[in-house]
Chain A
Amino acid sequence: MSRARGRLLVVAAITLATWAHVGSPDTYFEGAAGPYPVRIIVRNPGVVPGLVQISVRLLAPRSVQRVLVLPVYWDPMTAAPPPPDVAQRVPGDATLYSAALWLMRDGSYSVRVTVEGSEGTGVVLVPVMAVATGRLPLAKSLAAGLVALGALLLAGAITIVGAAVRESVLEPGVAPDGRRIWRARLAMAAGAALLAFASLGGRAWWNGVDAAYRSGLYRPFHATATVRGTGARPVLRLAIDRVDQSPAPVDAARPRPRSPDAPVPRAGFGPRCVCPPASPAPRLGDVRSRPAPAAAGRLSRLRRHRARERVRPNAAHERRRGAAGGRMAAVRPGRCLDRNGEEGGGKRED
């Protein structure tokens, strides 16, 4: 076996033993908030405006009084930030804090995390992109309940129309005659037709909203890597040149990597329950089995701008990570964490 073939086999063997996740909408940060080493996870709800869930884990034992989180929108005309939220300590875990924040617009945000403790106050900025990445499907049980209630409402409305025509204008105690009963039946038929028409209109409206929303979902960029020239100085050219134009999938639970920290429980003020996925494994399977994009179009100017916007915070993020010298803890494959931060089916890795 030649030396080159040997190297190739080693590389092939490495790919079998390693894994990675691509396309997570979440933000992971490990670094230092002043004197406090922290790991921060910002879980994107996948909709805008939406409620992001934030977990802050203290990586070294320190006496901490408060952890504050605040979304900062990238805009020089921002007049004043709102007051920060106090992250709640997760019961049973002295080093894990959680909070939920609304991101109201799509674009570049930072989440400012402030840790107040015995060693002073430390602040760190975590860059976050607010983008819509998926649309929650309508669960069958919820759909069945809504259909039942809708049917009850339609039947009730038709019955009310009939009762109104048949009896409501009669003096108390007077029974409706045959002519009035027939008029009531005709009114009920007309009411049913009108309600059917209204229901169809509502359906068209809903479909229109859905189509408009899905057309604005984030699509992955298509990048082309080429190597030019040969010899001692080949040039690698990496270009983001197209954007996926295929219909956006209904994304039940956006694919997420296995999280080293817990999906964040609600902080008490969150109005909408954005449930974390129970297990990422089946969804990763869904993602892998998706067909390749059916069509691709030219990258628009707006997409290019957004691409640059995404690249800048990522670069800043990487610089911070490098400066902090932190590391990301790993979680073994096959393990996932529940809402309270406990790893299901095995012990925690970190």
Chain B
Amino acid sequence: MTVASGVPPRAPTVPWHVSALVLASTSAVVGVIWDISWHRTIGRDTFWTPAHLAIYLGGVLAGVTCGWLALRTTFAGAPEQRATGVTFWGFRAPLGAWVAIWGTIAMITSGPLDNWWHNAYGLDVKVLSPPHVILAAGTWGIKLGALLLVLALQNREVGAARRVYGLLVAYVAGILLQDIAIMGIEQIGFPNSAHTSLYYKVAAGAFPLILVATARACRLQWPATSAAAAYMAISLVMIWVLQLFPATPKLAPVFNPVTHMVAPPFPLLLVVPAVAVDLLMRRAGPHHDWTISVLLGLAFVALFFVAQWFFTEFLLTAHARNFLFGVDQWDYSSRLGPWRYRFWNIRADPVTARGLAIAAGLAVASARLGLWLGNGMARVKR
């Protein structure tokens, strides 16, 4: 996009369907964090809790927006609009719209299955169950759809508009990082787990994928750092907002009579390895992907390990038990004890050189996949 000389630059306008999809992604991730806090604080829920409504608002908003976009582009779109779409069973729309529609259908599918699952096997007490994975795949579809939509716009635009879309790419990537942290809450959520091998293996296998792909595809100066900062900002806002609201448990047995909504765990310091990812990617350029993936994986594990090892030690001290960090908040069903201030499972699964080597291997593989994915994302035009 060029600007005629003498004319003040016009602020780039984000298409409404892109704004709606980014809003839908935000609503879904906020709803999930809220819902987990609800289950940890109040226990009892219904379909109509605000947290559930926020999740399903994300699905409905994405489905309606992208469905309308597909119909309009197919039947009433100008030739240039149809040219920016891909063909799907005879219909035309941007690739991101189809992915978001798929995500909405997946969310719809998970509803009755999840309901049956609860009636058949009892209310789930684990985050990971087959219906929840389908629901997560649905919300991931919506977020990936949003990411693909803004990527296509970013890759077609130049100048100020490209920077705006780049920021949106980093923001949606931050939401995807948040999703990974949520799905892995049992392994990497609590600081008490940070002195086990599993903690670093899970983090190393999952996070470099998104960070590196973002660094390759996003047209910002510090793309991975921006995505990690977005993840941290979402987490901190949720921590600071949720614990303001009074709430009491409504399910027995109550071992921990909480008085306010239980805040999510403090976010991981992904910003630290993300800075290294950005610096390495900038230095290496678009070539030598196999070599750079090795460097990226090793750098991620080294920096993430050092940052989390010592920072989680701080989080378990009395200095972190305040509103700012929001730690030492436990479920209503937790029997409180000294385990709160200890590292868990360190005898069964200690951090060893072998464990860190496995984590490094996983990080290298994850980074290589991220580069492959990022190369594709950088070329998306529709």
Contact = CB atoms under 8 A, between A and B. Distances in A.
Interface string B112-126: 110110111111010
A103 B86 CA distance: 51
A47 B87 contact: no
A156 B105 contact: yes
22 contacts: A47-B119, A80-B254, A80-B257, A81-B254, A82-B252, A136-B119, A142-B112, A153-B102, A156-B101, A157-B102, A159-B89, A163-B95, A168-B148, A170-B381, A172-B156, A172-B381, A173-B79, A206-B130, A209-B129, A269-B44, A271-B44, A274-B119
Interface string B71-111: 00000000110011011110000010011011001101100
A163 B379 CA distance: 14
B87 A167 contact: yes
Nearest to A163: B86
A136 B98 contact: no
Interface of A: 45, 47-50, 70-73, 75, 77-83, 102-105, 109, 132, 135-136, 138, 142, 145-146, 149-150, 152-153, 156-157, 159-160, 163-164, 166-173, 202, 205-206, 209-210, 213, 269-274
Contact of B99 (A152, A160, A213, A271): A160
A102 B123 contact: yes
Given A49-B122, A146-B112, A73 B252 contact: yes
B256 A79 contact: yes
A48 B254 contact: no
Interface residues of B, number: 56
Given A142-B112, A159-B89, A71 B156 contact: no
Nearest to B108: A149
Interface stretch (B3-11, B223-231, B243-251): B243-251
The interface centre, meaning the residue of B86, B88, B112, B122 with most chain A CB atoms within 10 A of its CB, is B122
Contacts of A163: 86-88, 95, 98
A82 B249 contact: yes
A91 B248 CA distance: 30
Contact of A149 (B86, B105, B252, B381): B105
Contacts of A109: 252
A142 B120 contact: no
A173 B254 contact: no
B253 A104 contact: yes
B44 to A, nearest CB: 6
Contacts of A206: 130
B350 interface: no
A205 B134 CA distance: 13
B339 interface: no
A159 B88 contact: yes
A73 B46 CA distance: 22
Given A50-B123, A171-B381, A271 B254 contact: no
Contacts of A75: 253, 255
Contacts of B44: 102, 269, 271
Contacts of A132: 122
Contact of B115 (A49, A71, A103, A272): A272
B95 A135 contact: no
Contacts of B119: 45, 47, 136, 272-274
B263 to A, nearest CB: 20
B47 interface: yes
Contacts of A167: 86-87, 95, 382
Nearest to A107: B253
Contact of A271 (B47, B95, B116): B47
B251 A77 contact: no
Contacts of A205: 130
A201 to B, nearest CB: 10
A47 B121 contact: yes
B320 to A, nearest CB: 24
The interface centre, meaning the residue of A75, A78, A271, A273 with most chain B CB atoms within 10 A of its CB, is A271
Contacts of B50: none
A191 B18 CA distance: 27
